[in-house]
Amino acid sequence: MKNVLVIGSGGREHAIAKAFGASRHELRIIVAPGNAGIAEEFETLELNTLEEMVSYCVQTRPDMVFVGPEKALAEGLADELEKLGIPCIGPSQKAARIESSKIFAKELMQKNGIPTASFFFTYDENQAIEYIENHGTFPLVIKADGLAGGKGVHIVQDKSQGIQAVQLLMSQTSKGVVIEQYLQGWEVSLFAFSDGENYCSTVFSQDHKQLYDHDQGPNTGGMGAYSPVPEAEPWRNEVEEQIIAPVLRAMNQEGCPFVGVLYCGLMITKDGPKVVEFNCRLGDPEAQAVLPLLETDFYDLCQAIVNKQVGQLNLSWKPESCVAVVMASRGYPGSFQKGYPIHIDPSLEAEICYAGVASPEGELVTSGGRVLTVLSLAESKEQAHAQVYKELKKIHFQDQYYRKDISLRDNKIQAFP
């Protein structure tokens, strides 16, 4: 029996635990801290701080640690585990800068000719304002450096909006701001499992970040995803050769080889794919749509990463589509009520990945903005879409909200309105 520790508490970590659960190996899977929904299926353990995680690993020496969220990686969990000789899927603190510092990522891309939006970076509010004052074409994209959970991005249509965004970001962060060219196109995500030298890429997936149907409303942590994305396949070679391989090579040259999952957030533009962002981990909710399609044994894949044998792997995938829809609390990403009981009809024929749930008195209640993800696999995307929306009607909680158009996006380059 091998002991696997999954770090994190959301739907992504539930999906990771399920992927380990489907392994042919005999595994004891512990999710830390997990949540009350994950606890219905797996062991969970209250480990919340880096110190708690490290001290637990010192005591129990798990055979594999899979780190879900970026925070623990940016804090250096992988470095601590490396010192202990404990296998870890997730990059070192230095390598995690690819996500934790937008400026590190942008400079790395610029230095290595990796296609991305042109940018200007400054720590100085007046300089940022001056740049916007002198800039002729809009929209522009303004982002804070550092981790922002996808919510620190402002797309501005004119100078006055731009100046407002700079002032707001500067008042919220001690770090700098990145001002970027707006990329027109359609977005798609691709993960690469990397052992530091070699990598294998997954199926493409597509997140739906905005709150309302037809990509309207504020950005969220992600309202649903689906996989694969056939329209992205013609770009795979270009993405691998011009983006993934060079960035992994560059990380090596910087002295911080990337071991773990590299998330490539891509914009397919009229000039081909460009990087919107890199993350140092699996995407959420994309992981909930991608991992269920993986046919290769997930524990074997993780072992190939820690043993530096990814080059010998050929990932295999189920010939199916997966559509994953997030059920959220009405009001999210702003304020919302919590504590509503979650009712699930026993006839439900879909998988659930739990995120914002608790069970103060034994029954599951809502406790977060994104409550759970419902997902279905079927032969085609259309069938998976129909199936997941049919099944989702068997789940009820007060104030529930979900998008009705997950997987229906038309992946074409639209002119900016």
User: Which residues bind to ligand AMP, rule: CB under 6 A?
Assistant: 117, 141, 143, 150, 153, 180, 182-183, 187, 209, 265, 276-277
Only segment of 120-128, 131-139, 278-286, 343-351 that touches ligand GLY (CB under 6 A): 278-286
Task: Give least dist CB 89 to ligand GLY, A.
Answer: 16
Nearest to ligand AMP of 19, 144 (CB atom) = 144
Question: Per rule CB under 6 A, is residue 320 in the interface with ligand GLY?
Answer: no
Rounded CA gap, 411 and 417, in Å?
16
Amino acid, res. 41: E
What distance in Å separates the CA atoms of residue 388 and residue 93, rounded to the nearest whole number?
38
Place of tokens 């072992």: 303
Closer to ligand GLY by Cβ: residue 62 or 69:
69
Identify the residue among 286, 320, 351, 391 touching ligand GLY (CB under 6 A). Answer: 286
- Measured distance CA(145)–CA(119) in Å, rounded: 13
Choose the binding region for ligand GLY from 40-48, 57-65, 125-133, 276-284 (rule: CB under 6 A).
276-284
| Residue 208 · residue 227 · CB < 8 Å | no
Using Cβ positions, the residue closest to ligand GLY within the complex turns out to be: 283
Task: Look at residue 222 and give the partner it binds from ligand AMP, ligand GLY, none, a contact being a CB closer than 5 to 8 Å depending on partner kind.
Answer: ligand GLY
Tell me whether residue 210 or residue 398 sits nearer to ligand GLY (CB atom). Answer: 210
Query: How many chain residues interact with ligand GLY (CB under 6 A)?
Result: 7
283 binds, among ligand AMP, ligand GLY, none (CB under 5 to 8 A by kind): ligand GLY
Q: Is 222 in the site for ligand GLY (CB under 6 A)?
A: yes
Q: Which does 180 bind (CB under 5 to 8 A by kind): ligand AMP, ligand GLY, none?
A: ligand AMP
How many CB atoms within 10 Å of residue 118?
10
* Footprint (CB under 6 A) of ligand GLY, residues 139-158: 150
Counting beta carbons within 10 angstroms of the beta carbon of residue 12, is it exposed (0 to 12), middle (13 to 18) or buried (19 or more)? buried
> What are the Cα distances from residue 99, in Å, to 13, 70, 77, 254, 277?
19, 8, 15, 15, 8
> CB nearest ligand AMP: which residue?
183
Distance CA 284, CA 224 (A): 9
- Distances in Å between the Cα of 136 and the Cα atoms of 169, 252, 256 are 21, 38, 38
244 secondary structure, DSSP code: I
Segment (H or E) for 129: helix 125-133
Q: Which is nearer to ligand GLY, 8 or 34 (CB)?
A: 8
283 binds ligand GLY (CB under 6 A): yes
Residue reference for tokens 């829809």: 325
| Closer residue to ligand AMP in complex, CB, 193/263 | 263
Tokens of residue 403, six digits: 């998008």
Q: Which residues bind ligand GLY (CB under 6 A)?
A: 150, 207, 222, 279, 283-284, 286
